[in-house]
Structure 1
Amino acid sequence: MLSVNELQLGYHGSQRIIKDLSLELPENKVIGLIGPNGCGKSTLLKGLCRLIQPQSGNILLRQQNMAQLNNRQIARQISVLPQVQTNPEGLSVRQLVEYGRTPYVSHWGKLSAADSQIVDSAMHEMAIDSLADMPLDALSGGQQQRAWIAMILAQDTDIIMLDEPTTYLDISYQIELMRLIRALKEKGKSIIVVLHDLNQAARYCDLLVVLKSGELQMMGTPCEVMTEAMLAEIFDVQAKVITDPVAGSPMCVYL
């Protein structure tokens, strides 16, 4: 799906954040990016969807160099929900979700009946049908987050990237969202998600990519990655790793 070769990423006037990173990300998996604060998780996600340009190295999207693709070509393959969203003033919930169809509509921006049906489906999936005509800035943080996720679903790409998507969500909606991510994977989607909750990452992800100080430390299944030694070395915490009695995944119990 994505091939990263000797990638270096940073921001204007700042030092490198991602340093000489190389990895292969397979299709049809839920891939969690984990690591301590400041390790480069969000920066890597921005680089993978070309929100920021590589300082060196390259990213191949299905064997094509992303530097040679235009924004519309990328937007038809990758949708992304950043960590922080700016709510456009005066925009209704439905209008926001409709923006997800932008890569597919003509320059006139008129939605087809099929586009409108996809928007309706995305809003229903995130349980925001009743909020369709509400101004976005009148919603709670959790409701706004669900509206933004609905926009991503309306974009209907094969690859979905989410940066800490459970932020602002109550625990019930966090569980619902992670189950939705698993359901999307069953529909053939590939999801790359930044997560802080390690138990959530272990329970819902197929693969975990562990970063520290901008460098790849390890990559593997939750059972391979989530060890007491890794938690001590990467996160500087003492913990016991046991089996989740419900999901059967590894679960951290911090000491």
Structure 2
Amino acid sequence: MEYFYPIGNDPENEPLLELLPNGYMFASKIFYPFIMMPKLWHSSNSEIPHKYYPVKEDILKFGKPLTWEELRKSSGLRNIAEMSIAVTAALTGAEYCRKVYRRPDLSNKLENHLVENIYFPLEDQFSVLLMRDMLSVLASNGAKRIKFATISGEQGTYKISDINAEMIIKLCSEPITICDENKDFIFTCNFDEVAAVFSAKKDCRELLTRNHLEGIIFDEKTPLVWENYNYFLLK
């Protein structure tokens, strides 16, 4: 197994479903939740060197996930595509990202409604708050193990029932691809992204919803940069 991410040659126009491995016909983008820490809570340790951000151990113990839809509603953004544009513009800087994300008006609207104890999701890696739900999806066809491959070349296998907090943090530390042992389902992530790409050999919207995963579903023409195209809301 090797690291895989369906970015293609033209992620703003190339249909994502055409970039999946043979046999895969369903794809979804899974949003990483925002993180709410207890009020007045603070630690001397920070995940990010240049500004304070809770470390993953503390997020697992004390953090509460907030959906994009919750924050979309409270900030007054019109739809989930605007929310995605606002999140990307806020994290990458509206002047440096793709044209579709150059919307400081939307990022300001979102940031103005975030209180001090709410944090953006981290880029470049899976969210630790989603990993248990992702593992439930991977195990749903009876798989007992997962396989993983990082962008840096590390590969391995974990028994699902053995995965603990330390292993979750390892799986949420860099761009990585994980799948069940039968390769029925794949989750993968990349740099500068706060959403994972999920792909499967069958329609899995009910499975994803049952496991509390939020996102959008790609149709046959939707590219990776999906916000200006048709999509189906996963809810």
- TM-score higher than 0.5 here? no
Structure 1 length-normalised TM: 0.28
Richer in helix (by share): 1
Structure 2 length-normalised TM: 0.30
Richer in strand (by share): 1
- Which structure carries more relative contact order (alpha carbon 8 Å, separation 6+)? 2
